[in-house]
């Protein structure tokens, strides 16, 4: 034990600090004398949050374990004889454990750096108070998610980060494309969210009725409550119901982490500011899906069917997204596809049972991907376009940015010694080791291996197009220059992390944040060959990129070949976007219009039909009222006579047949 | 008392009621209508008086008393009715009830 | 013991009468009366620590009970009987909040203000009475007392087709309430209880045979269901909402729809549990039909008020689903969702009204990009929309979560239908925000400014409640569970 474990008791401060920043900037931001002051407030609070986050992580390294801290009852409903006889208790609590400490490091460090970077990057934008308030709220929600101690709380923050992402993608809301992208992101992830919700229902219900669970009274459904993973014991093992629950978790993760087939929103989310892309759509929020799968695999467990499904989704997405990055002309979208692809690696690893390896890649990826985005942001800030084919030669005017992007690219592609190399080869090596027992993983392993080549190709293609050559291909671009220190400092820090973060795992103290990860498999004999293959693929990718795009060359594809058709398919994103738009807009709206028609003319038409029927009846009947007194008298007499006839004839008959007395 | 034939008297009051009803249903002249109503009412008065006499001492004077009340009522009714006739005549220049049919649908 | 509930009733009655009589000072009187009522309700809430529990023979008892003989003819006794449990109390709280918000929102009502504020108070008086009455006749009296002021609120202050809408509203709900009354009387007569008093009906009614219970429950379900409203008896709702003035829509969506749900819980589910048990599949089907239909039709609407009206059908469908589940979890979630929907739909109808005043139209396609011009109004639109689509940390989420969790236990995978409809609900709110709030400015008159401060104040109160109860739902939940639902199957 050391003095640092006192930090566990203060973990709640992290979301609270950023929440305070949210309130200050959100309420007072627009009234501040200078709008950047709101930004500096947010930076200051996120710095404080980062300090606490690092202290918590250090404490966790020195004394690994799970610490539940300050749990409060959110909702408590007593049992009744029907459903949930033990009642339902839902808690909001804080759980510090190794992986949440790791995530805290990622979120607070990248969050602080991105906020600092924003000071200059967003300087010219209006709505700065909104921007910093929303980012602070995002950090609150994200750290809250990481510190959740049960699935409901996890879902709660999960939705909150989703809505922050919605607002930040739509930051430039006057642009129709931004507003549309924000909506798309929210709705596509919402599909995943409802599946996630169903998964939660299943886990809750199974937990509440499982024999060995003490019931809700004993503290509710918590990750740490009961013997982990539940699946093995308390929850009844490999049942179809739990398979479904696991698949639902995969659905939720696929929505958030943009995995196939819910991947379409992430490239469009690039409509937001680049800083937002770096923090939310690269380093943290999109990784929440992977974190969810990790948490579920650690505490609840997946069935073998689930695992195969997760491996399939992850492995396929890895390759699928990388192909689309190969042809894209937009610097941010290339990186966005790369994010989807890298998230696929993580999902792939978690699915194959290497949760810690997946999280290790999450950790390294957060830094080098944030670096790539921030470097791209620096370029966009300088030249005012995202089109790679208009840029060129920027290494001369922006050497630091070019170096930072190159470091990010090397790390992403897995250049030996960089952090991406360790984590990605760890994934490939680990999965390779299980192929003997799980031959069904083979095709997805091959896809993941092939992606190494594609990754190196597309990221260096982007580098050559932006930074290589003699000068901009579009002469109208403004003269580029390096940004100020608030943008340069995050680039430098992240460059250092992109190189060095991977090697941290050799430090046993740090490795305790990833319990059970073991020595990276690159150092086992059989894996050296695999590493060689993978490095070879990186070299091939780099070489191909250089031969096509290096030195200011622009590779022209002749229009008639089959390759051009493939290129068109890739540029149209395999028509997924068009298909979803068709389903989401055309088809659904047509159904809604049809329903509206039925509503107006069939349902309400029936109602009006009755109305007309009775109106007609009464219209006919009222003609009886002639106003002539004699007619009324005649009705009276007629009625009397009729009544007398009834009395004389009907009554005796009735008495006879029915009987009376 | 036995000089009265119940059948004859009931036939008489029945005949009066029928004459009155016939008048009510067929006449359009307001005065004739009033007279017809009077005839029909008198049929009822006759029945009251007859059954009071028929019941003898057990019935007391109830029948006769009601007969007197009805006669009084009939008188007031005629008074009101004739007043309406006058008002109608002044308003429309006619006492035909079929023409005073504004209270219809 | 203070006759607390009668004091509350007297407060409303006195402020209603005074408001009617006070001419141009009506709004001050109405505000004073509603604030006093709110304070009294909050005091009642603060003093409500423990529900009275089950009495002899398992009959539920109620807090602050008052029973005075009212009509007594041979075997028939009608009492003035009132009392509350957690469910009633939460709904009374909702009544108080919405009363204050409505009075503040319509502060500058210029058309017959005395009549307007008086009728608003009268509507809330009726709702309050429904929530506390424990006698069939008293219940029915208050129930009908709600219809008449609402009829006039729609028919006099409403939009161009107000007469049609008011009449449709009245005929629908009146037919339903006759069926309801007959069914309630049938419950009383069949059970052979010597009174119309809820507590004396409780035992005998629950002891009725299954067939009787099923038929009586059907009658009550229809009677209360039209008020919900349930598909296909829902078409009065969009018309009434579109034509009603904003204050009328707020009370209609916020309170009147809750009467049906409350009635179903108190007078049908509590008295006839066996009937519910047999009819539960029907209720699930109707509930899911309402959920799906309301949401899908809402997607096609262009009129902001109509859209919110259809989303009300969707939400009340979830309430019905949760009531049909019937366990303590289900009913707690149902009542919580009733409260949530009351606040959220009130906010949404208020923003619809403000959008209409500000931009001269409620057509979602006609205006766009209003955020830079009216940031406060736009923020309120966002809060309302996000709350209505069930965002966590806002009030609807815990309720919908509980409702669907409870439903999962009874209808298993069928719960996927309402779950997927959550995406559709999100879709039409997102689309609404995209079209109206975002994008380039469109259809905005030149001299547009934010709505008047009293409208913003009323809406901000509701938005604050949405966040408060969304973050700390246990403030409500611990009250709701203090009720007979603890013993429900």
pLDDT for the residue numbered A3: 58
Query: Lowest-confidence range among A453-462, C53-62, C153-162?
Result: C53-62
Alpha carbon distance A317, A308 (integer Å): 14
Q: Are the CB atoms for A403 and A495 separated by under 8 Å?
A: yes
The percent of residues in chain C predicted with pLDDT above 70, rounded, is: 99
User: Are the Cβ atoms of A74 and C474 closer than 8 angstroms?
Assistant: yes
Test C426 with A190 for CB contact under 8 angstroms: yes
**Distance, in angstroms, between C472 CA and closest chain A CA?**
7
Q: Å from B70 to nearest chain A CA? A: 20
Domains belonging to chain B, first-starting first, are 6-94 (1.10.287.3510)
Check CB contact under 8 Å for C296 and A194. Answer: no
Q: Let me know if residue C123 belongs to a domain.
A: yes
Q: Does A205 touch chain C (CB under 8 A)?
A: yes
Chain-wide mean pLDDT for chain C?
90
Q: How far apart are CA C461 and CA A599, in angstroms?
A: 35
Provide the residue range defining the domain that includes C44. Answer: 4-484
pLDDT tens, position by position, C130-145? 999 999 999 999 999 9
Nearest CA in chain A to C329: A77
Whether C contacts B, i.e. 3 or more CB pairs less than 8 A apart, is: no
| B25/A634 CB distance under 8 A | yes
Q: What is the pLDDT of residue A251?
A: 94
State whether residue C461 is helix, strand or coil.
Answer: helix
In the prediction, which pLDDT does A31 show?
Answer: 74
C156 domain residue, yes or no: yes
> What is the predicted pLDDT for the residue at A104?
92
Q: Which pLDDT does position C181 carry in this prediction?
A: 93
In this prediction, what percent of chain C has a pLDDT beyond 90? 60
Q: Does A31 touch chain B (CB under 8 A)?
A: no
Rounded (5°) CA angle A39-A400-A476: 85
> For residue C367, is pLDDT > 80?
yes
With respect to residue C352, please indicate whether it lies within any of the assigned structural domains: yes
Cβ–Cβ below 8 Å for A592 and C300: yes
Q: How far is C457 from chain A (nearest CA, A)?
A: 16
- A601 touching chain C per CB within 8 A: no
**Alpha-carbon Rg for chain A in angstroms:** 32
Q: Kindly list the partner chains of chain A, i.e. chains with 3 or more CB atom pairs below 8 Å.
A: B, C
CA dihedral A639, A641, A643, A645 (to 10 degrees): -150
C-alpha gyration radius of chain C = 21
Do residues A55 and A34 make contact, with C-beta atoms less than 8 angstroms apart?
no
Tokens representing A189 are 């992830």
Residue C489 falls within a domain, yes or no?
no
Q: Looking at beta carbons, which residues of chain B come within 8 Å of A627?
A: 100-105
Q: Is A595 on the interface with C (CB under 8 A)?
A: yes
Q: How confident is the model at residue C118, as a pLDDT?
A: 93
Which residues of chain A fall below pLDDT 70? 1-7, 33, 35, 69-70, 82, 209-221, 224-238, 518-526, 659-661
Let me know if residue C433 belongs to a domain: yes
Answer whether residue C250 is part of any domain. yes
Task: Identify the residue with better confidence: C361 or A223.
Answer: C361
Work out the percent of chain B whose per-residue pLDDT is above 70. Answer: 92
Helices C162-191 & C198-206 angle (0-180, nearest 10): 70
Interface size A-C, in CB pairs within 8 Å, comes to 163
| C31/C117 Cα distance (integer angstroms) | 9
**pTM of this prediction?**
0.88
CA distances from A78 to A72, A194, C481 (A): 16, 26, 7
Note whether A83 contacts B: Cβ–Cβ < 8 A: no
Q: What's the half-sphere exposure (Cβ side, CA atoms, 13 Å) at A308?
A: 11
- Please tell me the distance in Å from A651's CA to the nearest CA on chain B: 24
Interface test with C, best of A73, A77, A129, A164 (most C CBs within 10 A): A77
Residue to mutate among B25, B28, B96, with most A CBs inside 10 A, is: B25
HSE value, Cβ hemisphere, 13 Å, CA-based, for A205: 24
- As a whole number of angstroms, the distance between CA A581 and CA A586 comes to 7
Q: Are 3 or more Cβ–Cβ pairs between A and B shorter than 8 Å?
A: yes
- Which of B29, B33, B14 shows the shortest CA–CA distance to B94? B29
Q: Which chain A residues are within 8 Å of C300, Cβ to Cβ?
A: 589, 592-593, 595-596
Question: How does the average pLDDT of chain B come out, rounded?
Answer: 85
Which member of A623, A625, A629 has the closest CB to residue B97? A629
> Does residue C296 belong to any structural domain of this protein?
yes
Q: Does the residue C311 lie in any domain?
A: yes
| CB < 8 Å from C in window 285-304 of A | none
* Nearest-neighbour CA in chain C from A368: distance (Å): 32
Query: B25–A625: do the CB atoms touch at under 8 Å?
Result: no
Q: How far apart are the first and last CA of chain C?
A: 33
At residue B103, the pLDDT reads 64
The domain tally of chain C equals 1
User: Does residue A556 or residue C456 have the better pLDDT?
Assistant: C456
pLDDT of residue A650: 84
Nearest CA in chain A to C476: A75
């Amino acid at each position: 034990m050391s003095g640092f474990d006192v930090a566990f008791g203060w973990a709640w401060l992290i979301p609270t600090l950023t929440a305070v920043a949210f309130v200050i900037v959100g309420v007072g931001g627009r009234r501040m004398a200078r709008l950047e002051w709101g930004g500096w407030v947010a930076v200051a609070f996120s710095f404080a949050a980062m300090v606490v986050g690092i202290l918590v992580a250090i404490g966790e390294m020195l004394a690994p374990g799970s610490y539940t801290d300050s749990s409060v009852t959110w909702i408590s409903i007593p049992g009744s004889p029907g459903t949930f006889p033990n009642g339902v208790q839902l808690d909001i609590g804080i759980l510090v454990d190794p992986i949440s400490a790791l995530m805290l490091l990622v979120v607070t460090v990248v969050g602080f750096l991105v906020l600092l970077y924003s000071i200059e990057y967003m300087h010219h934008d209006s709505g700065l108070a909104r921007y910093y308030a929303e980012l602070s709220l995002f950090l609150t929600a994200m750290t809250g998610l990481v510190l959740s101690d049960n699935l409901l709380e996890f879902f709660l923050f999960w939705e909150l980060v989703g809505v922050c992402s919605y607002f930040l993608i739509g930051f430039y809301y006057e642009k129709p494309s931004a507003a549309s992208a924000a909506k798309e992101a929210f709705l596509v992830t919402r599909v995943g969210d409802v599946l996630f919700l169903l998964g939660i229902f299943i886990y809750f219900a199974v937990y509440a009725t499982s024999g060995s669970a003490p019931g809700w009274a004993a503290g509710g459904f918590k990750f740490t409550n009961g013997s982990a993973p539940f699946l093995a014991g308390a929850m009844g093992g490999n049942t179809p119901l739990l398979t479904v629950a696991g698949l639902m978790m995969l659905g939720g993760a696929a929505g958030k982490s943009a995995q196939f087939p819910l991947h379409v929103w992430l490239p469009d989310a690039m409509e937001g500011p680049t800083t937002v892309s770096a923090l939310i759509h690269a380093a943290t929020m999109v990784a929440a899906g992977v974190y969810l799968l990790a948490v579920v695999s650690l505490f609840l467990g997946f069935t073998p069917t689930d695992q195969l499904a997760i491996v399939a989704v992850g492995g396929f997405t890895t390759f699928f997204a990388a192909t689309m990055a190969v042809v894209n002309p937009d610097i941010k979208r290339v990186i966005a596809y790369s994010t989807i692809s890298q998230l696929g690696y993580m999902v792939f690893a978690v699915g194959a049972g290497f949760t810690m390896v997946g999280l290790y890649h999450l950790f390294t990826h957060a830094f080098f991907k944030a670096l790539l985005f921030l470097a791209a942001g620096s370029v966009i800030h300088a030249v005012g376009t995202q089109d790679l084919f208009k840029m060129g030669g920027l290494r001369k005017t922006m050497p630091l940015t070019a170096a930072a992007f190159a470091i990010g690219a090397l790390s992403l592609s897995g250049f030996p010694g960089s952090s991406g190399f360790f984590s990605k080869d760890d994934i490939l090596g680990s999965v390779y080791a299980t192929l003997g027992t799980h031959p069904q993983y083979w095709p997805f392993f091959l896809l993941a291996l092939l992606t190494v080549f594609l990754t190196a190709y597309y990221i260096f293609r982007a580098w050559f197009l932006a930074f290589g050559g003699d000068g901009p291909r579009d002469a109208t671009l403004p003269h580029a220059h390096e940004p100020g220190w608030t943008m340069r400092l995050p680039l430098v820090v992240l460059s250092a992390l992109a190189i060095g973060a991977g090697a941290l795992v050799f430090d046993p103290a740090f490795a305790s944040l990833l319990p059970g990860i073991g020595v990276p498999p690159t150092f086992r004999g059989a894996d050296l060959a695999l590493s060689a293959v993978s490095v070879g693929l990186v070299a091939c990718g780099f070489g191909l990129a250089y031969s096509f795009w290096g030195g200011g060359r622009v590779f022209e594809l002749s229009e008639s070949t089959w390759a051009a058709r493939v290129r068109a398919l890739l540029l149209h994103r395999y028509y997924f976007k068009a298909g979803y738009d068709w389903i989401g807009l055309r088809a659904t709206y047509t159904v809604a219009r049809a329903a509206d028609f039925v509503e107006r003319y069939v349902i309400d038409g029936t109602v009006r039909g009755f109305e007309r029927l009775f109106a007609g009846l009464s219209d006919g009947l009222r003609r009886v009222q002639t106003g002539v007194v004699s007619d009324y008298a005649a009705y009276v007499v007629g009625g009397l006579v009729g009544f007398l006839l009834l009395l004389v004839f009907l009554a005796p008959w009735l008495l006879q047949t029915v009987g009376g007395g | 008392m036995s000089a009265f034939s119940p059948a004859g008297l009931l036939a008489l009051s029945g005949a009066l009621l029928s004459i009155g009803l016939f008048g009510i249903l067929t006449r359009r002249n307001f005065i004739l209508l009033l007279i017809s109503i009077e005839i029909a009412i008198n049929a009822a008065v006759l029945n009251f008086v007859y059954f009071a006499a028929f019941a003898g001492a057990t019935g007391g004077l109830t029948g006769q008393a009601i007969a007197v009340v009805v006669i009084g009522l009939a008188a007031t009714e005629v008074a009101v009715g004739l007043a309406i006739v006058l008002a109608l005549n002044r308003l429309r220049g006619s006492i035909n009830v079929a023409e005073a049919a504004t209270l219809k649908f | 013991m203070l006759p607390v509930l009668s004091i509350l009733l007297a407060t409303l009655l006195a402020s209603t009468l005074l408001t009617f009589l006070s001419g141009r000072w009506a709004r001050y009187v109405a505000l004073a009366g509603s604030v006093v009522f709110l304070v009294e309700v909050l005091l009642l809430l603060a003093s409500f620590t423990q529900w009275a529990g089950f009495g002899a023979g398992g009959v539920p008892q109620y807090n602050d009970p008052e029973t005075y003989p009212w009509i007594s003819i041979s075997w028939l006794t009608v009492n003035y009987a009132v009392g509350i449990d957690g469910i009633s109390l939460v709904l009374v709280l909702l009544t108080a909040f919405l009363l204050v918000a409505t009075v503040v929102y319509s502060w500058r009502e210029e058309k017959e203000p005395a009549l307007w504020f008086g009728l608003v108070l009268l509507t809330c008086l009726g709702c309050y009475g429904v929530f506390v009455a424990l006698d069939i006749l008293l219940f029915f009296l208050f129930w009908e007392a709600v219809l008449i002021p609402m009829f006039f609120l729609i028919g006099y202050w409403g939009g161009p087709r107000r007469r049609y809408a008011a009449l449709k509203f009245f005929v629908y709900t009146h037919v339903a309430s006759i069926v309801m009354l007959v069914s309630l009387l049938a419950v009383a007569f069949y059970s052979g209880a010597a009174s119309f008093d809820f507590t004396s009906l409780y035992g005998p009614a629950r002891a009725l045979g299954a067939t009787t219970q099923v038929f009586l429950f059907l009658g009550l379900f229809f009677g209360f269901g039209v008020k919900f409203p349930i598909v296909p008896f829902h078409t009065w709702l969009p018309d009434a909402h579109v034509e009603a003035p904003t204050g009328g829509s707020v009370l209609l969506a916020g309170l009147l729809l809750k009467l049906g749900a409350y009635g179903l819980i108190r007078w049908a589910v509590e008295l006839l549990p066996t009937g519910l048990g047999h009819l539960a599949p029907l209720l699930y089907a109707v509930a899911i039909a309402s959920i799906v239909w309301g949401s899908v039709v809402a997607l096609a609407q262009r009129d902001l008020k109509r859209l919110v009206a259809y989303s009300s059908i969707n939400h009340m469908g979830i309430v019905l689903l949760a009531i049909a589940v019937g366990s303590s979890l289900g009913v707690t979630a149902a009542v919580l969702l009733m409260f949530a929907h009351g606040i959220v739909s009130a906010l949404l109808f208020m923003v619809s009204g403000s959008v209409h005043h500000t931009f001269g139209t409620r057509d979602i396609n006609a205006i766009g990009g209003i955020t830079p011009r009216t940031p406060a109004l736009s923020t309120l639109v966002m809060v309302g929309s996000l709350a209505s689509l069930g965002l966590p940390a806002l009030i609807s989420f815990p309720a919908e979560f509980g409702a669907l969790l409870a439903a999962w236990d009874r209808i298993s995978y069928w719960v996927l239908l309402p779950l997927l409809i959550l995406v559709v609900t999100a879709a039409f709110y997102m689309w609404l925000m995209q079209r109206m709030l975002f994008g380039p400015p469109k259809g905005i008159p030149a001299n547009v400014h934010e709505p008047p401060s009293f409208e913003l104040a009323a809406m901000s109160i509701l938005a604050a409640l949405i966040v408060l109860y969304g973050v700390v739902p246990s403030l409500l939940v611990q009250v709701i569970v203090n009720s007979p639902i603890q013993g429900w199957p």
